[in-house]
A and B are shown apart, each in its own frame.
Chain A
């Protein structure tokens, strides 16, 4: 993944996940916007925020907190780790 990019990950169970790469590491949140039905993995990254492609609401990628209307509920965050084998691993409790 390039720096400042996002891609969708489909886990074996549960909702899809948006995986982000920022300059200082990898992050992951639920992919579904808490306002509408958008997939945030289709959005654009501005700084350390993801911009929803539907209504231009924003979330902080590191914390999942909403940072711009019309988004008011936080995203669930997931831990993602870059392993020595070069693969990314997602903590997935379900």
Chain B
């Protein structure tokens, strides 16, 4: 990989953007406003309330993967603060389940007797539970896994109770390649596929269904949700923030600042960015050892787009490492040859966000895959932690009154497009 003298290497090198003389992303998207960005959307409570109303309560939101619900009756719960009714309302909880007919469904986790939360699982443990029925612990109302009300203890004492009107309140639920999304808008303005179209088209053959989660972590951080996403969707920070874990993997003589080799922006805030591995990088011995035995945290850079993983590297960039797909509004899916990383960003308030990061690999075919996966998982876990380290410091500064605008460079196209798209939706 680090043989710099071959013709093949020279050919790959020639295909890199001409960073010395150009700003390649701005040239690709010349109509974008590349001016400074006022910091108000990161710090303003009223703006945040508009985001909740116009984005989070209107759009499809990713809540989990089908792999969490293998059997009939499997379910998990999730609290979603961003869709609470009013600014000071308690946040609603949702049940996402596989019903007895095998269908994936979602409901408000709210008993239709007097409103009690039905399932009390901790939504931050990622446990999957299984029930034949959802029974409210307060008075024992029983719901089928399809949400219909099955049984009311001492039912005859109620007055004209019509059980058919008292099922768990459903929310729209749709699945794309094992990714489960819900939409709390009673009449969604578009389908899930319309909302995520550019990603669904680019990754239509990526083998998400055969990929399994190997690690997942969370942190609740005092930062605006957009600023949190931004720390995970540009490479400019890599040389500094990841000096301890990945000092040379992405930064080297050909690309000292971890510039993306290509980027794409799409309607409605969607975007994708491609990153390269530095050909100078010589993995440590242990990493070489595991890499020969299974998928680690990226595939060896070769220019090969990976026939087993169609859809990666959309522009066929040289020295390919991974893509960041910004799935608007709050999800990043980062496919690579061997699996994908996932990042969810759940706004709690204007300056508090729950981040959930995961690493996912093709289901192991042999024991050595598990060893390689474990190595990749551990290294990425540390890099993810580094990514979260700057978040609170950023928010403190944004709220300090000492900075009125942020200035973004060519390679920070994804943060810029996310910002522009949110502002357009809020003001639209």
Contact = CB atoms under 8 A, between A and B. Distances in A.
A54 interface: yes
A93 to B, nearest CB: 29
A15 interface: no
Interface residues on A, range: 10 to 19
A38 interface: yes
Contacts of A53: 132-133
Given A54-B140, A55-B140, A36 B153 contact: yes
Contacts of B142: 36-38, 54-55
Interface residues of B, number: 8
Nearest to B151: A37
B242 interface: no
B132 A36 contact: no
Nearest to A56: B135
14 contacts: A35-B153, A36-B140, A36-B153, A38-B151, A53-B132, A53-B133, A54-B140, A54-B142, A54-B150, A54-B151, A55-B140, A55-B153, A56-B135, A70-B140
Interface in A50-80: 53-56, 70
A37 B150 contact: yes
Nearest to B136: A55
A73 to B, nearest CB: 13
Nearest to A42: B132
A48 to B, nearest CB: 21
Nearest to A39: B132
Contacts of B135: 54-56
A67 to B, nearest CB: 18
Contacts of A36: 140, 142, 151, 153
Interface in B142-169: 142, 150-151, 153
Interface of A: 35-38, 42, 53-56, 70
B35 to A, nearest CB: 62
Nearest to B131: A53
A55 B132 CA distance: 11
Contacts of A35: 153
B208 to A, nearest CB: 34
Nearest to B132: A53
A38 B133 CA distance: 10
Contacts of A42: 132
A42 to B, nearest CB: 6
Contacts of B151: 36-38, 54
A22 B383 CA distance: 54
A56 B135 CA distance: 10
Given A37-B150, A37-B151, 19 more contacts: A35-B153, A36-B151, A36-B153, A38-B133, A38-B142, A38-B151, A42-B132, A53-B132, A54-B133, A54-B135, A54-B140, A54-B150, A55-B135, A55-B140, A55-B142, A55-B153, A56-B135, A70-B140, A70-B153
B392 to A, nearest CB: 44
A4 B382 CA distance: 47
B9 to A, nearest CB: 63
A53 to B, nearest CB: 5
Contacts of A38: 133, 142, 151
Contacts of A56: 135
A55 B135 CA distance: 7
A4 to B, nearest CB: 17
What 10 pairs across the A-B complex have the smallest Cβ distances? A37-B151, A53-B132, A54-B142, A55-B140, A36-B151, A36-B153, A54-B135, A42-B132, A53-B133, A54-B151
A37 B140 CA distance: 11
Nearest to B140: A55
A33 to B, nearest CB: 9
Of A35, A38, A53, A55, most buried by chain B (CB within 10 Å of CB) is: A55
A55 B140 CA distance: 6
A56 B134 CA distance: 12
B99 to A, nearest CB: 15
A54 B133 CA distance: 7
A73 B40 CA distance: 65
Contacts of A37: 142, 150-151
A81 B365 CA distance: 49
Contacts of A55: 135, 140, 142, 153
Contacts of B133: 38, 53-54
B38 to A, nearest CB: 56
A28 B81 CA distance: 49
A53 B150 CA distance: 12
